[in-house]
Amino acid sequence: MLCRKGADTVSGCEKRYFLGIDTSNYTTSAAAVDENGRIIAFSKRLLPVREGGAGLRQSEAVFSHVRQLSVVMDELALQLKANDISADESYGGAWGKTEDSSENKSEYDIGNKTEHGAGKNKGYRAGNEAKHGVGNKSEYSIGNNAEYSAGNKSEYGAGLKADFGRRKLAAVGYSARPRDAEGSYMPCFLVGESTALSLSYVCGVPAYDFSHQAGHIAAAVYGCGDENLAEAPFYAFHVSGGTTEILDVGKDGKITLLGGTKDISAGQLIDRAGVMLGMHFPCGPELERAAAEYSADGGELSSIPAVCVRGLDCNLSGLENKLSGLKNAGHPNGEIALYAITAVWLTLKKLTQELFAAYGTRPVLYAGGVMSCAYIKERLKSHFDAYFAPPALSSDNAAGTAILCRKKYMTENGGI
C-alpha cells in the first residue's frame, strides 16, 4: 500500500479531519471524517452520459472527473467551513444517535409490502425517507434537509455543516483501483490519485491508497449503523454497475472473493434494460418507478424470471436476452422493468442461500448502487439477517475511503 509520510504534529487543541477522494466510472466524490470517524462533509456528482448512452469510455470518464473534481472539492470545503449542525445528526452510522429506520422507504414501493424477518430493523438508520433508486440522480435526504443534486450545483440548507475553525487536514485517502486483486486497474482512478498526492505533497500529510471496493464496504458498514459489523467477520455483496461479487470480510478488514457474476453485473442488467426502454443512464430510479407504477395499476409478471446460479457463481446475460424478447413481443415497459428488478432479487436470494450452505450463516451486508432499490432490499430483509446503508452511502461515494484513511492513520500513529 502506498503511503506518503511526513505529516507534521498538530497540537492537541486543534481539530483534524481525514479526506477521502473517489473517482469511479460513475461518480466524482469527496468526503471528510473527523477524529472520531464521523462523516462531517460529503459531496458527489454523477458523470454525465450522452442521451441514449449506457456508460462511459475510460477516456470520457477521466475527462469528466478532471472537470468535476474541483467543483466537488469546493462544495466539500463549504461544508467544512460551516458550523450549524453536528455530523452525527446528518449521517448516523455506528457512532451516530439516529433512530432505527424500519420506517424508511424509497419513493417507490413496488407491489405489496413484505414483512421483516430475520433482518428486521437492520440498517437504513439515516432518518428520513430516501428518494432513490439505483445509481440515481435524485435528491439525497440524509437525516436533514440537505439536498444533493448529482448533476447540478448543490443547495445547502440546514444540513451537513461542520466546524472548520481550527480543523486541519491530517491525511488524505484515495481510491486507486477497483478492487484489491492483482491487475485490478481503471484509468479513471488516476484523477483522484493525482489530486490526493498533490494535496499530500503540498500540505505535508500522509496519503493512503485503497480499493474502490474496500471503500464501498467501509461506507456501508458505517451507514448501516451497527457496530457488530465492525467487530466480527461478515459476508458482503458488492452489487453495482461495475461488479456483482460475494465477499468474505474478516475482522481485520481483509476482503476475500468467494463468488459472483461470470458475465455482466446486476447494475449493467438494470441499466441496459432501462436504456432499451428509453430511460436515462444510470437507469435505476426510472426503472424502479416504471415497475412501481405497473404494479400499482395491478400489473403482474407473465412469467417468473429463471435465474442462473451455480454454487456461488451466477450468469446474468441470459436475463438480458429475455428482457429483449419481452420487448420484441410487445410486453408493457412496466412489466419489463419489474422483470429486471425481480430477476436481480431472485439471483441475490439464491446466491445468499448457496453462500450459507457452503460457509455457514453470518450477517450479510449488501452494498453498491443496486442495493438502493427498495424492492430488492425489502425482500432480502424478509429472508436474511441483512444489513443496508442509506442510498447515499450505498452508491459510489468517498466516505468509505475517508473512513479507511482515518483508520490507517491511527494504526500508524497510535491514535490521534
pLDDT by residue (tens digit) across 14-40?
789 999 999 999 999 999 999 999 999
pLDDT tens for 274-303 read 999 999 999 999 999 999 999 999 999 999
Residue 328 makes CB contacts below 8 A (sequence gap 6+) with none
What 3-state DSSP class applies to 63? helix
The x, y and z cell numbers of residue 348, run together, are: 441475490
The x, y and z cell numbers of residue 286, run together, are: 426510472
pLDDT tens for 1-16 read 344 444 443 444 578 9
* Average pLDDT along the chain: 81
Distance between CA atoms of residues 367 and 396, nearest Å: 10
Q: Cell 466539500 belongs to which residue?
A: 76
**CB environment 340-378: b (16+ within 10 A), e (fewer):** bbbbbbbbbbebbebbeeeeeeebbbbbbbbbbbbbbbb
For residue 251, the model assigns a pLDDT of: 87
Distance between CA atoms of residues 302 and 360, nearest Å: 35
For residue 166, the model assigns a pLDDT of: 65
For residue 252, the model assigns a pLDDT of: 86
Distance between CA atoms of residues 54 and 205, nearest Å: 39
In this structure, are residues 136 and 374 in contact, taking their beta carbons and an 8 Å threshold? no
Residue 9 makes CB contacts below 8 A (sequence gap 6+) with none
For residue 384, the model assigns a pLDDT of: 95
In this structure, are residues 131 and 141 in contact, taking their beta carbons and an 8 Å threshold? yes
Tell whether omega for the bond before 282 is within 30 degrees of 0, i.e. cis: yes
Task: Give pLDDT < 70 ranges for the chain.
Answer: 1-13, 83-166, 227-228, 416
Instruction: For residue 9, give the DSSP letter.
Output: P
- Other Cβ atoms less than 10 A from the Cβ of 157: the count is 11
* pTM of the shown model: 0.78
For residue 229, the model assigns a pLDDT of: 84
The x, y and z cell numbers of residue 303, run together, are: 412469467
Distance between CA atoms of residues 117 and 130, nearest Å: 22
